[in-house]
Amino acid sequence: MAGWQGRVLRIDLTRKKAVVQQLDATVARAFIGGRGLAIKILWDELPPGVDPLSPHNKLVFATGPLTGLPGPNFGKLVVAAKSPLTGGYGDGNIGSWTAVNLRKAGYDALVVEGKAEKPVYIYIENDKVEILDARDYWGLNAWAVEEKLQKVHGRDATVITIGPAGENLVRFATVISHKGRSGGRPGMGAVMGSKNLKAVVVKGKGEVPVADKAGYQKLAVEAVREGSASPSYGFWMRQGTTSTVEWAQEASVLPTYNFSEGQFEDFFKIGGNMVEKFETDLKSCPLCFMACGHWVPAESGTVEVDYENLAMLGSNLGIADLSKVGELNKIADTMGIDTISLGNVLGYVMEASERGFGDRLGFVVEWGDYEAAKQLAYDIAYRRGVGDLLAEGVKRISERIGGEDFAMHIKGLEVSAYDCHAAPAMALAYATSPIGAHHKDAWVISWEVRTDRFGYTREKASKVIELQRIRGGWFETFVGCRFPWVEVGLSLDWYPKLFKTATGLDATPDYFNEVGDRIYALIRAFWARELGYWDRELDMPPAKWFKEPLSKGPLRGAHLDYDKYHELLSHYYDLRGWDERGIPRRSTLKRLGLEYVAPVLERYVELR
Ligand code: PTT
């Protein structure tokens, strides 16, 4: 099976055992790798309804057949588990040398199960696999752990770790690598912490298998050359994702004051131009020609900033100072907390304060209060005082103290940085994302604002699916960064060609799309099984976007329409072959080769 290592490393921390399992070729073809492999493992192996923070949950680090190869940015892996934040499927895609090294060490994936008695870390060097004492590392922040582990194991040993937030089971704790990469928004860091696992350290000394080495090499060089010659490449290298602040302001979708408005008067103080002016360093994931990591001065030292971080910790909180936003970003990176969820939780607190919930919170925080935001971020990471409640995420907080209408989440995952008062397709993309309100599967908003901004058409539902197939089906399974395609317009045609030379398999766009559909159907089944029910209300965007129109700016008065949104959602279900409640039809499961799912699924929902 060229292209895949054909080996999955499984480590049971309870029994202190490591075994290597062969990767079944049929599974590899049907699910490819990354997210596909992760959901297949979680569906097949998790006891239904398992507590995500129990030893029975499994944490999957999965690469794909392109991971670790030179070419347009294949230095990433998917980290997945049942989410402690949402109770459904959770994953993230993190850039790290650990992705490359895992493949070079001879594995397509690492699956961690059980729970260690005491803090440990995993050390992998090809066939040598050790579970080592992590007591000296427990409690350290994510950056310090990485430095210390590399001192012990050498700089060629690469690290994915958690910070204190993961140890303290903050429900939106992430895993961290290379000081600026964070992955697994729906609490993958908490799952790791629940297993008493501080870090995974990998050295890989072998080769990544390729079917046609010369053919692959040639294509990879040409693809990178094409990407680097793109007219947008120069600007991208200067500002990366941070120029999205200016774009979002112009389009009235910049989250402002907890998603109450789409424009922020001081946007320019936290935007791409400011980042370009003060930039101190530029870093990239492994094997990347695009370097999205722009480092700027923070209050203490420097930090990498991205669009989501600037918007969620800046405009969304009314904080208009790059070094202060950078500092909040840095706290999130060192503590191992997702910036998007952090920005939502703090935004919720500020709005709750404004609406007179101070007595329920026990304190009041004004918009733009940076010192309070900083303090709360640390309190969340250590679950100190009110931080213990805030570490639960906005869904649970609002269920406890009220204000559900302004708790900005879908299925429990806090909303990424695009306001949807005037973007129904983006709202649909969030609502139908397989992990909750994340933008990664369908960043349809750039298309939407250029076309029929206010429409709820079938074409929009179709566009969301088209993007979900490519982003969720292609890039999350062969596992590479989507930025070459999204940001500098690298043609999608390269990927099936690269895949073919890497694996020897003919891979048409239809093949990848079908794999994507299979994964989406299986993830949906997983949600229904784990929640024990399903209802289309779970695919609804936050109430605020329907009930509270934008109060200023060129789109003043804009809001989502409840009935029309339901029509849009029905189009989406229909196009996917799902029933009117959002459950894949029996015929759809059959078409996708998922017949084995039906008998389990119908214990929880009626199949149509
Ligand atoms: C990703 C999410 C994003 S998406 C951002 S900024 W982005 C936030 N970054 C955080 C951060 O930083 N620190 C922190 N403590 N929390 C953070 N939370 C947020 O996490 C790097 C890039 C980016 S930057 C994006 S869009 C693209 N995402 C890809 C994806 O999802 N799949 C894929 N095949 N390719 C992608 N390429 C791009 O990668 P999650 P990363 Mg990612 C400091 O992790 O869980 O998916 O959440 O991880 O390697 O840092 O992504 O404007």
Distance CA 168, CA 382 (A): 6
Question: What is the SS3 assignment for 429-444?
Answer: HHHHCECECCCCCCCC
Residue 179 CB–ligand 1 contact under 6 Å: no
Closest C-alpha residue for ligand 1 atom 33: 481
Q: How far is Cα of residue 354 from the mean position of the Cα atoms in its chain?
A: 30
Closest C-alpha residue for ligand 1 atom 48: 94
Helices (H), 168-299: 188-194, 213-228, 233-239, 244-250, 272-278
CB 591 within 8 Å of CB 532: no
Helices (H), 259-407: 272-278, 307-313, 322-335, 339-354, 358-361, 370-382, 387-390, 394-401
Among 338, 344, 413, 445, the mutation site with the greatest number of ligand 1 atoms within 8 A of its Cβ is 338
Residue 333 CB–ligand 1 contact under 6 Å: yes
Structure tokens at 518: 């299979």
Phi, psi of 197, rounded to the nearest 5 degrees: -105, 110
Closest C-alpha residue for ligand 1 atom 4: 308
Q: What is the pLDDT of residue 584?
A: 98
Distance 185 CA to ligand 1 centre (A): 9
Handedness of CA 530, 534, 540, 543 (dihedral sign): negative
Residue 293 CB–ligand 1 contact under 6 Å: no
Compute, in degrees rounded to 10, the torsion defined by CA atoms 91, 96, 97, 98: -30
Distance 561 CA to ligand 1 centre (A): 30
Residue 1 has pLDDT above 90, yes or no: no
Residue 51 has pLDDT above 90, yes or no: yes
The helix/strand/coil state of 296 is: strand
Closest C-alpha residue for ligand 1 atom 15: 333
CATH of domain 429-489+508-601: 1.10.599.10
Distance CA 42, CA 47 (A): 9
CB atoms < 10 A from the CB of 533, how many?
Answer: 11
Q: Cα separations (Å) of 172 from 28, 80, 166, 377?
A: 30, 13, 8, 12
Distance CA 126, CA 394 (A): 42
Closest C-alpha residue for ligand 1 atom 36: 481
Residue 93 CB–ligand 1 contact under 6 Å: yes
Residue 478 CB–ligand 1 contact under 6 Å: no
Chain segment 330-370, per-residue pLDDT in tens: 999 999 999 999 999 999 999 999 999 999 999 999 999 99
How much of the chain exceeds pLDDT 90, in percent?
Answer: 100
**Closest by Cα among 356, 354, 419, 352 to 386:** 352
The two beta strands, 120-125 and 197-203, are parallel
Distance CA 459, CA 424 (A): 12
Residue 180 has pLDDT above 90, yes or no: no
Among 339, 416, 467, 490, the mutation site with the greatest number of ligand 1 atoms within 8 A of its Cβ is 339
The HSE-up count of residue 491 (CA atoms within 13 Å, CB side) is 12
**Closest by Cα among 18, 19, 22, 24 to 7:** 22
Residue 304 CB–ligand 1 contact under 6 Å: yes
Residue 306 CB–ligand 1 contact under 6 Å: yes
Distance 222 CA to ligand 1 centre (A): 26
Distance CA 157, CA 151 (A): 9
* Mean predicted confidence (pLDDT) in 269-286: 97
* Mean predicted confidence (pLDDT) in 260-274: 98
Q: What is the pLDDT of residue 316?
A: 98
The helix/strand/coil state of 514 is: helix
Distance 521 CA to ligand 1 centre (A): 24
The helix/strand/coil state of 421 is: coil
Instruction: Round to the nearest angstrom and report the end-to-end CA distance of the chain.
Output: 37
Among 177, 282, 481, 490, the mutation site with the greatest number of ligand 1 atoms within 8 A of its Cβ is 481
Residue 332 CB–ligand 1 contact under 6 Å: yes
Among 63, 254, 306, 340, the mutation site with the greatest number of ligand 1 atoms within 8 A of its Cβ is 306
Chain segment 206-246, per-residue pLDDT in tens: 999 999 999 999 999 999 999 999 999 999 999 999 999 99
Residue 475 CB–ligand 1 contact under 6 Å: yes
**Closest by Cα among 108, 122, 85, 73 to 2:** 108
CATH architecture of 234-418: Orthogonal Bundle (1.10)
**Closest by Cα among 75, 85, 44, 82 to 60:** 82
Chain segment 60-104, per-residue pLDDT in tens: 999 999 999 999 999 999 999 999 999 999 999 999 999 999 999
Provide the ipTM. 0.95
CB 36 within 8 Å of CB 521: no
Phi, psi of 435, rounded to the nearest 5 degrees: -120, 5
Give domain limits for the chain: 7-203, 234-418, 429-489+508-601
Closest C-alpha residue for ligand 1 atom 1: 183
Residue 487 CB–ligand 1 contact under 6 Å: no
Chain segment 500-553, per-residue pLDDT in tens: 999 999 999 999 999 999 999 999 999 999 999 999 999 999 999 999 999 999
7-203: which CATH topology? Aldehyde Ferredoxin Oxidoreductase;  A, domain 1 (3.60.9)
Residue 167 CB–ligand 1 contact under 6 Å: no
Distance CA 258, CA 394 (A): 12
User: For helices 509-531 and 494-503, what crossing angle results, to 10°?
Assistant: 90
* Mean predicted confidence (pLDDT) in 114-138: 98
Sheet bearing 293-297, strands edge to edge? 281-283, 293-297, 302-305
